[in-house]
Structure 1
Amino acid sequence: MVTAREMDLLEQSYTGRGEAFFHVSGAGHEGSCILNSLLEEQDWLHCHYRDKALMMARGIDPEMFFNSLFNKEGSHSKGRQMVAHMSDPDRNILSMTGPVGNSNLHAAGIAEVVKGTAGSPIVLSSFGDGMSQQGDVLEAIAHAVRKELPVLFFVQDNGFAISTKTKGKTFFSRPDGEADSFYGIPITRLDGRYPQNLYRPMKEVVDGIRESGKPAIIVFSVERLHSHTNADDHRVYRTEEEIKALHESGDPVDQMHSWLLDQGISEEELAAEREEIIARLKEKAHKAQLSPEPEPIFTAKKEIPSHLGDRKQEYRGTPGKEELTMIEAIRETLRFHLDRNPAVELFGEDLEDPKGDVFGLTKTLSTQFPGRVENSPLAEASIVGLSIGRALAGKHSVAFLQFADFLPIAFNQLWAEAGSMYWRTDGGWECPMIVMVSCGAYKPGIGPFHASSMEALAAHIPGVDVVMPSTAGDAAGLLNMAFESGRPTIYFYPKVCLNEAQGKTSADVSRQLVPLGVARKVSEGEHLSFISYGNTIKLCQKAADVLKEQGVNCDIIDLRSISPWDQELVLESAEKTGRVIIVHEENKTVSISSEVAAFLAEKSDRKLAIKRLTREDTFVPCNFDCQLAVLPSYQRVLEAAVEMLQGSILWKKEDLVQSGSVIVEIIGTSPADETASVIEWKVEVGDLIEEGDLLAEIEADKAVAEMKSPVSGIVEELILEEGEAVEIGAPALKVKTSENIKISLKPRTKENPGEPVITGLNIAPAAELSNALPVADRRPYLVDVAGARGSREVDNAEIMKFCPGWEEGEILKMTGIEKRNWIGEGEDIISLAKTAALKVLSRNNLTLKDLSLILVSSGTPGQMTPSLATRIQYSLMPDGKREPGCPAFDINAACSGYIYGLQSSWDFLNSQSRGLVLLITAEVLSPLVDKADKSTSPIFGDGATASLIAGIDHPLKKSGRVRVFRPVTAACGEPGDILMVPADPAQHIYMHGPKVYLEAVASMITQLNNACVQENKDITDVSLIVPHQANQRIINAVRQRLKISEDQIYSEIRYNGNTSSCTIPFCLESLIKKEPSGHTLGLTAFGGGFTSAGGLLEIL
């Protein structure tokens, strides 16, 4: 006890002078060391991080603690673990981690293994009062009760969880008082402040566990005499009086000192012993401090035998002798290892017969191996945590999680424990276990929380291998590899593949082996590479088969192994074909496709065209049509390949209704079924049937069922023979109906996009490829537009007052303008722009920090520096707090400025596909108008707009109804003799109306035509033209020259006037909300300078 206390003080000294960085004191907890006199060599200890005295009593040398303090090579973890997280396999002291409470499940798992063995071992699970409320602790106690396990749950109650007081907030200290028992276990309460009184009551409890084999709980009351760690200061939440009192009455070292004096040991003897201890500790600390530093290591995984990574060792079964499906191959491989190795145990929900797993994967195994194939509680953390404990005690655990969606519940045990075990103990402890996880979607009837895959989440766990087979041979080979590797392995198996007839393997599964980190080349080709795994491999195969008919040969790489993955084969394939499509059903962000694409971008010596087909960052819906839309599908895979090959594709769909006949498809009995067969037809050709009549008895993969008619009519043909096994959804019989009807109530059960018609493929040699994808792929999204006009509404009557010479109605006749908005009192260009920007940001839940670029188009910025863009940016900063943000700059292209801005945004977002541009137009022209000038005073208005434009990978693209084709722009140069907006506010706008009219009409038509030509379109393909609202005469002239009707060109100038670069986005503000899907908008503008521009928008 004194050694532990003096070590704490010495560690505090080292941290206080900066020679060590972290310290955890056990002061006040030293009394737990009394337990060591009752524990035997065969017992196991999961200690609390304040159990320094107990661990030294068990035999850990103080030098090891100092090696850990200084993170030295000689520490048990070679400097990887924090100081208090000890481990000593030779003394059965298990490794601690930071996520407190985890170890209790390991303790229960170990206890299951050692119960009843020689010497009646017990397992100590020591933890704090704060830790006691972790779910893993409560699950462990429940399991110990359920299985009657010899575990001593030793709760060290110092009243604090760092600064939080725990009294009345734990299972043993409730709001209604102190509990006498928990889960039926009596609670023994001991006072750790008086160690001299502990031996007998502790012995009684320990002996009771050893004799009964049942769990016990001790609540060990102590005082935490020091701060939580050196990073904490308990004076913040404890008073001086409180701290003084606990040192006076709650120090077990002082109490033991007094007791020893009472027993006749002199003060001199005790003082001499203490001095000797201090000297010995200082010597050991100094030695540790001067000992070698550890070398960094860059893997958390144990080395595997060389043949397990050798691609030449692969054997996936004998061709021509395929007879086992994936589910059968996995089952027989498990049977082989259960029979061969008595340490192998299976643990998970519903594994025992007669159920034999929810998919039937373990059927017959519990009957053949009773007690070794065991049903677990419905608690994923328990399944994995208990399996880790069993593995630590010498078993080869196989844990089953029913669905990948439940993996996050067990993530803590996988990441903090199984994955780090070998690394954090420098191989002192190993965790040979396999976590079997069913995964994936593509089945009607399953949806969120039953259809995820989660392999990317798993691959982020250092120290764990992650695999996913797509065939029976891979399933057996990877499982054999996992058993032999001795490393923790997360083994995902796609439930849709379990019963597939294709991809079977031979019966010799015990011989089959798939090396770790070695991909399988499914097919060979030189034009395009598919990189995939799991469910999506067959989608790539189906697409590749169609492409082969078009003369396109594809490499298909099945990764099989996710962590590690076969970088060599993937790079070789990519550099050969130059075109890569990566396909998986996991989320897109931070996924396996992200990793593969990034690796190829870094390592390839040549340009590559790379595309990812994944599930977007959303959940898997239950509606099967929506599921197919969200996930990669055969249709999407083939379309992506055709697009990458610069071709075109159309789909010819076959109708199930033919001349009054309906094809009835065979059904399954559950979402897991892949095949079914008719056992017996209950109808014959010519029978009159009604909706709901029994058609046949069928047998699917999981059960026998009845198939009933979805329609009324006459049986025209029995398409399937009795006993013929086919895929779910295959045509079963044809029914003649009284009229052409479809089976409207039967939802789709499989993907059937129709027959592809492919044209125009470019299969040029890979060397001729560029990195560019087709333009259509790169069009950004116009997400939203908002506007703000000057608050002062000026009608023609007011104009006529200060601009005499107009006759009644003449202004409207000459300009098409009836009123316009000018700025009012307190308004300026900044306030209008800010209003527009805040509108569009707030209704899209955005802030300034979400923007990648701010562009501002204005002919009236007011000053040159700072730019208008940066002044608007500043106005949007909360409380004017300046901090570095996105770039912001002005565009001055007069009335063409909005389309110029769209072009700049387009180009920017093609280099920043996840970017978001705020394009602002802001014009305050009224102060610059000579109100007596008939050519300008009625024309101009004041306003500002804000448009959000998102790149193709930005999440907001989902909100966008509009895709932006790249605009065309031009300028022919003009010194300001015809049209001029002055910088000097004392001057006025000048415009030569007739010349502007001629230039504007010709330029706007030209640029619109150029925009169409660029996209291989004709002006007749444009549904609606949105011209710059210069004046109505110019708009009418454009319409007349293009020979289009009035409803094909948009005008709202009558009530808004000419707001220069704001006119087009003001139009779009209302148009994009109501314009029908599929329409194409044509934008065109002309402005001072002379600038001109055109562009196309597609309404989705």
Structure 2
Amino acid sequence: MDLKTFRKYYSTMVTAREMDLLEQSYTGRGEAFFHVSGAGHEATALLEDALGPQDWLHCHYRDKALMLARGISPEMFFMSLFNKDGAHSKGRQMNAHMSDPSNNILSLAGPVGNAALQSAGVAEAVKDNSDKPIVLLGLGDGMTQQGEVLEAVAHAVRKTLPVLFFIQDNSYAISTKTEGNTFFSRPDGPADDFYGIPIIRLDGRHPEDLPEAFESIVTGMREDRKPRIVVFKVDRLHSHTNADDHRVYRSESEIQELQETGDPIIHLGNWLVEQGVPAAELDAEVEEIRSGLRDSARRAQYSADPEPVFSAKKELPSHLSDPEQEYRGTPGKEALTMIEALRETFRFHLDRNAAVELLGQDLEDPKGDVFGITKTLSKQFPGRVENSPLAEASIVGLSVGRALAGKHPVAFLQFADFLPIAYNQLWADMGSMFWRTDGGWNCPMIVMVSCGGYKPGLGPFHASSMEAVAAHIPGVDVVMPSTAGDAAGLLNAAFESKRPTIFFYPKVCLNEALGKTSADVSRQLVPLGVARKLREGEHISFVSYGNPIKLCMKAAEDLEHHGVSSDVIDLRSISPWDRDTVIASAEKTGRVIVVHEENKTASMSSEIAAELAEYVSRPLQIRRIVREDTHVPCNFDNQLEVLPSYQRILEAAVELLGGRISWKKEEAAARGEFLVEIIGTSPADETATIIEWKIQKGDNITEGQLIADFEADKAAAELKSPVSGVVEELLLEEGEAVEIGTPAVKVKTEDSAEVLLKPKTKETPGKPLISGLKPEALQKLSVQTAVSGDRRPWILDVEGVQGSRKVSNEEIMKSCPGWEEGEILKMTGIESRNWIAEGEDIISLSEKAAKTVLERNNLGLDDLSLIIVSSGTPGQLTPSLAARIQHTLRPEGKRGIYCPAFDINAACSGYLYALQSAWDFLNSRPDGVILVITAEVLSPLVDPADKSTSPIFGDAATASIITGSESPLKGKARVYRPVTAAAGEPGKILTVPADPAQKIFMHGPKVYLEAVHNMIALLNDACVQDDIKVEDLDLIVPHQANQRIINAVKQRLKLPDDQVYSQIRHRGNTSSCTIPLCLESLFKESRGGQTFGLTAFGGGFTSAGALVEIL
């Protein structure tokens, strides 16, 4: 290397050091938040002189000088320091984790050592390129002890890969000394080689001695294409990061000595002076660099911040999410099982795209995968369908590297239970690569994973599914087909999307005949995130995927015999999943059963149930039939109990439908008779065929005797008798293909012989006996038939009366000192409320409201057809409050029998419950007139010291006159039939006691959640019933519970402030009186032609919704 080139790299090293010092300054004054120093490691910059543009670099996080030399600008480092929009990652990566696709600098990740396997994968992909690239892997001395680093070294040896394992040995793994604790520095001294690779040792503190060594190493690798290990001795001159202080574990003398002897910049500068470069010239250069960096850092600091992104996935081509693009094969031409469809789809892509490669255990012929998926492929595509080492992290990590180098790899993990071994590569790299590089790098790869149980012989570590674990990885698509057509279609979509995909396939489904598809698998496509409806119904929804789909179908078929129609939804795609289809089904049926094999906590059923609870607006019942939080046992009886079963699914459905179910067990075989069943050879076998019988009717056979040769889906085998006896009948013909578990031979045994225990091979609950399904359970929940508009009753007039004692928040605070000034208004929206004064009670308020509204409309007690009183505080049980109010309305001195009068108690929903009763009455008596009264005196029942209730409630009564459609009295509004519902609650959350000595109890947060959800749901039901959208209502009048609940309803419905009515500030919560009090105010100011939505929620829990049209 000539002096000019040394000068160039000296400048690069100085730039790196000055950047470190500037970054330390910014973090020290709180203008940046993270810094990793490369001080002492700068001599790696000279490696660039030996490298070419064709080479690939997976740098160490202290390789700032090398990355500068390679072409990353100082400004890009500063953009990363400040996490700016101009950074390579748009501020997503920590600043030391750089990336530059234009210079083949691969993206760094936080888990140290991850890059090792990827570097080996890149090397495999580029090894045979004509320009003979190498892959540089920068490692720290502590990092070398990661298992994945050791796997990478082993693979580089096994495959003779040009990977330069460049270990920067600074003697510390943060604070832990590494000398004597690594493969290159053992307790017995320095090692000379590792896995047969000679270890080359270089001194990184003296850059002037390095160029020749670097050139020799790289040249040798280009020639022999073999790996090298270099131990590059350096000193870490600064703390590990700004979060570390090396003075805690290093002595002052050690730190001082390092500064004097371990600084490569000082050594190279001194050497340059010895070579004739003036020291002043070098000093001036340092100052010039320093000044330029300050300007660059400032520009970066004041540049634009990035916008947050809410998906880690590469954008999907539009046709891959379009349901119209789906093609699952041609009906009537089903020829291929799932295993065959997968194999032929792989064959198509291997043939069409030279970048496609398959890697996994036992993939090569003659085995062709443990299940046979890849049979014949390695013969047709030699070198591209490869056996891997028995190392799942290697399989995935190598595939990530291949994908980064332009390949489209497919990694096979034999069982889902082994996925955690590779999880680090899946989560930290495959899933994050596109996101963390802002699309600079992508991982177009597929991970194939067999999954699931339901077969004898499977158990822990061979029967899990793990899809929830996979779905929790941002940036990764997760699919699980249950049929051959879905398998081919989803696999084609995964290839075409070029997104990282984890493809689970249930091994039990591989050979199922019922799920076959046509041979044109290359044309088949299943859009991602689009569910498939297998059945369409009205009464209940089953949502599942994978193995349990057929169990849901069987349950739905049984229910159909009892008049129940079902939606059966196969999600197929787990991430993304089809929220819209599932939510729409739940809105329609009101009952949802979610079924999967994965264990319960934090599972897909949890996600689905949460989404439904959040977004479905109607009353909804949900059941999850899943594996509890335990492992899958090998005992098959236990396995069927632990996993979702047809029996459990059907029983849950019958329960939701209000019925009863029992089971009629199959009759056991008679004593002295035994049925020998045909068996399989592996968990993937579904069918078997007798090739040749070795016995005939009448033969005496013994236990263990060969009775037939048979061929299952995977292999041929011998069928042996489990019993001794006489052959009574051969139940199968030679060449007849039947399901595993089908009886093949009937054997007569001795009556006195011990009864043989026949191991269970499938679920056999017996015949379901279903009864008691309630007619109303077969109707859509809460959807009620609307009557034509000309039958709608009128609200003629409303009058409200409040208690005369006005109570301010200041007065409340005196008796409830837990409140701070302004806090009551902030938390409840209430500034004052009215309580009854001395001499007032529930009768006096009700009487005043009723007489006022009747007199204003020239009506008397004789004119009324019915009196309905809604109250949660009637004061006494008998006489009813309605009877006592009726008594006050009777003309003085006049006795007689008048209209019916009765109470209802639906708490705060009472007004709408009363309107529903009035509505139904007036549709049978359309000329009738009804007085609806709401009356609530809650203040005597409030504990003044209770923060949750003392500021909330007020006292009031209202009286509404409701007239029938044929009455001559026409009013201010016409009422659509209210919708009502209840969800029984024993009073643990909200209680209004009958005994005045007791006080109101309310669990505020739980009431809040129930109120918001139920008021939205019932309002939506009222709108559905009357064919209007919530957003098209002119005004929504919710029960005035508290302002926080009103605001939450408004926000959930995404409505503007002026579309949701509130007058709670000076009235408080008057229970069933709040809505009529609102109507009283609104009728005075509203114009005609408007439609209001009323919705309420109350203790019990009750809820209701209704629409009124203002005329």
Deviation at 1:693, TM superposition (A): 2.5
Deviation at 1:682, TM superposition (A): 2.0
Amino acid corresponding to residue 316 of structure 2 in structure 1: I
Q: 1:288 aligns with which of 300, 317, 321?
A: 300
Equivalent positions of 1:582-661 (< 5 A) are 582-658=594-670, 660-661=672-673
Q: 2:356 aligns with which of 344, 354, 360?
A: 344
Any idea what SS the aligned residue of 2:96 has?
A: coil
Deviation at 1:764, TM superposition (A): 2.6
Amino acid corresponding to residue 479 of structure 2 in structure 1: V
Question: Separation in 2 of the partners of 1:371 and 1:672?
Answer: 27
Question: Separation in 2 of the partners of 1:405 and 1:71?
Answer: 38
1:740–1:630 Cα change, 3 Å: farther
Deviation at 1:768, TM superposition (A): 5.9
Contact 1:620/1:630 (8 A) holds in 2: yes
Aligned position for 2:542? 530
Alignment deviations for residues 119-147 of structure 1 (CA, whole Å, 9 cap, x no partner):
21000000100111011111111000000
Q: 1:306 aligns with which of 309, 314, 318?
A: 318
Q: 1:272 aligns with which of 273, 284, 288?
A: 284
More deviation, 194-203/174-183? 194-203
Equivalent positions of 1:38-49 (< 5 A) are 38-49=50-61
Contact 1:710/1:743 (8 A) holds in 2: no
Alignment deviations for residues 864-890 of structure 1 (CA, whole Å, 9 cap, x no partner):
xxxxxxxxxxxxxxxxxxxxxxxxxxx
Aligned position for 2:449? 437
Question: Separation in 1 of the partners of 2:758 and 2:398?
Answer: 45
Aligned position for 1:61? 73
1:113 maps to 2:128: no
Contact 1:228/1:234 (8 A) holds in 2: yes
Contact 2:589/2:781 (8 A) holds in 1: no
Any idea what SS the aligned residue of 2:688 has?
A: strand
1:200 maps to 2:212: yes
Question: Separation in 1 of the partners of 2:525 and 2:241?
Answer: 50
Deviation at 1:966, TM superposition (A): 9.6
Aligned position for 1:136? 148
Aligned position for 1:84? 96
Alignment deviations for residues 920-951 of structure 1 (CA, whole Å, 9 cap, x no partner):
xxxxxxxxxxxxxxxxxxxxxxxxxxxxxxxx
Question: Separation in 2 of the partners of 1:741 and 1:95?
Answer: 71
Aligned position for 2:817? none
| TM-score normalised by length of structure 1 | 0.70
Amino acid corresponding to residue 633 of structure 1 in structure 2: S
Aligned position for 2:113? 101
Equivalent positions of 1:389-538 (< 5 A) are 389-538=401-550
Question: Separation in 1 of the partners of 2:558 and 2:749?
Answer: 34
1:730 maps to 2:712: no
1:169 maps to 2:181: yes
Aligned position for 2:139? 127
Aligned position for 1:1036? none
Amino acid corresponding to residue 40 of structure 1 in structure 2: G
Amino acid corresponding to residue 414 of structure 1 in structure 2: L
Deviation at 1:743, TM superposition (A): 5.9
Question: Separation in 1 of the partners of 2:610 and 2:774?
Answer: 26
Aligned position for 1:900? none
Structure 1 stretches of at least 4 aligned residues deviating more than 4 Å after TM superposition? 740-743, 765-768, 965-969
Deviation at 1:739, TM superposition (A): 1.6
Equivalent positions of 1:234-273 (< 5 A) are 234-273=246-285
Contact 2:117/2:151 (8 A) holds in 1: yes
Any idea what SS the aligned residue of 2:695 has?
A: coil
Deviation at 1:767, TM superposition (A): 6.3
Q: 1:358 aligns with which of 345, 367, 370?
A: 370
Q: 1:16 aligns with which of 2, 6, 28?
A: 28
Deviation at 1:972, TM superposition (A): 13
Any idea what SS the aligned residue of 1:521 has?
A: strand
Deviation at 1:322, TM superposition (A): 0.3
Contact 2:590/2:780 (8 A) holds in 1: no
Question: Separation in 1 of the partners of 2:139 and 2:95?
Answer: 17
Contact 1:657/1:741 (8 A) holds in 2: no
Q: Between Structure 1 and Structure 2, how many residues are aligned?
A: 782
Question: Separation in 2 of the partners of 1:203 and 1:15?
Answer: 38
Aligned position for 2:564? 552
Any idea what SS the aligned residue of 2:221 has?
A: helix
1:764 maps to 2:740: no
Any idea what SS the aligned residue of 1:707 has?
A: strand
Question: Separation in 1 of the partners of 2:779 and 2:431?
Answer: 43
Deviation at 1:719, TM superposition (A): 1.7
Question: Separation in 1 of the partners of 2:546 and 2:225?
Answer: 45
Aligned position for 1:315? 327
Deviation at 1:709, TM superposition (A): 1.8
Alignment deviations for residues 423-461 of structure 1 (CA, whole Å, 9 cap, x no partner):
000000011000000001111001000110000000000
Deviation at 1:494, TM superposition (A): 0.3
Aligned position for 2:709? 697
Contact 1:24/1:228 (8 A) holds in 2: yes
Deviation at 1:724, TM superposition (A): 1.4
1:576–1:765 Cα change, 3 Å: farther
Any idea what SS the aligned residue of 2:548 has?
A: helix
1:159 maps to 2:171: yes
Q: 2:41 aligns with which of 29, 52, 57?
A: 29
1:763–1:479 Cα change, 3 Å: farther
Any idea what SS the aligned residue of 1:502 has?
A: coil
Contact 1:654/1:754 (8 A) holds in 2: yes
Amino acid corresponding to residue 605 of structure 2 in structure 1: S
Question: Separation in 2 of the partners of 1:537 and 1:224?
Answer: 59
Equivalent positions of 1:570-969 (< 5 A) are 570-658=582-670, 660-739=672-751, 744-762=756-774, 764=776, 769=781
Alignment deviations for residues 83-105 of structure 1 (CA, whole Å, 9 cap, x no partner):
10000000000000100101011
Deviation at 1:506, TM superposition (A): 0.2
Amino acid corresponding to residue 27 of structure 1 in structure 2: A
Aligned position for 1:1021? none
Aligned position for 1:895? none
| TM-score normalised by length of structure 2 | 0.69
Any idea what SS the aligned residue of 1:76 has?
A: coil
Aligned position for 1:539? 551
Contact 1:661/1:740 (8 A) holds in 2: no
Question: Separation in 1 of the partners of 2:42 and 2:318?
Answer: 47
Aligned position for 2:1074? none
Contact 1:578/1:767 (8 A) holds in 2: no
Amino acid corresponding to residue 540 of structure 1 in structure 2: C
Identical residues among aligned pairs (%): 72
Contact 2:312/2:435 (8 A) holds in 1: yes
Contact 2:658/2:777 (8 A) holds in 1: no
Question: Separation in 2 of the partners of 1:743 and 1:265?
Answer: 100
Any idea what SS the aligned residue of 1:275 has?
A: helix
Contact 2:61/2:96 (8 A) holds in 1: yes
Alignment deviations for residues 640-666 of structure 1 (CA, whole Å, 9 cap, x no partner):
111111211111111341364322211
Aligned position for 2:924? none
Any idea what SS the aligned residue of 2:229 has?
A: strand
Amino acid corresponding to residue 419 of structure 2 in structure 1: L
More deviation, 757-766/144-153? 757-766
Any idea what SS the aligned residue of 1:398 has?
A: strand
Question: How large is the RMSD of aligned CA atoms in angstroms?
Answer: 2.0
Any idea what SS the aligned residue of 1:8 has?
A: helix
Question: Separation in 2 of the partners of 1:147 and 1:181?
Answer: 18
Deviation at 1:596, TM superposition (A): 0.3
Deviation at 1:274, TM superposition (A): 0.5
Question: Separation in 2 of the partners of 1:85 and 1:34?
Answer: 21
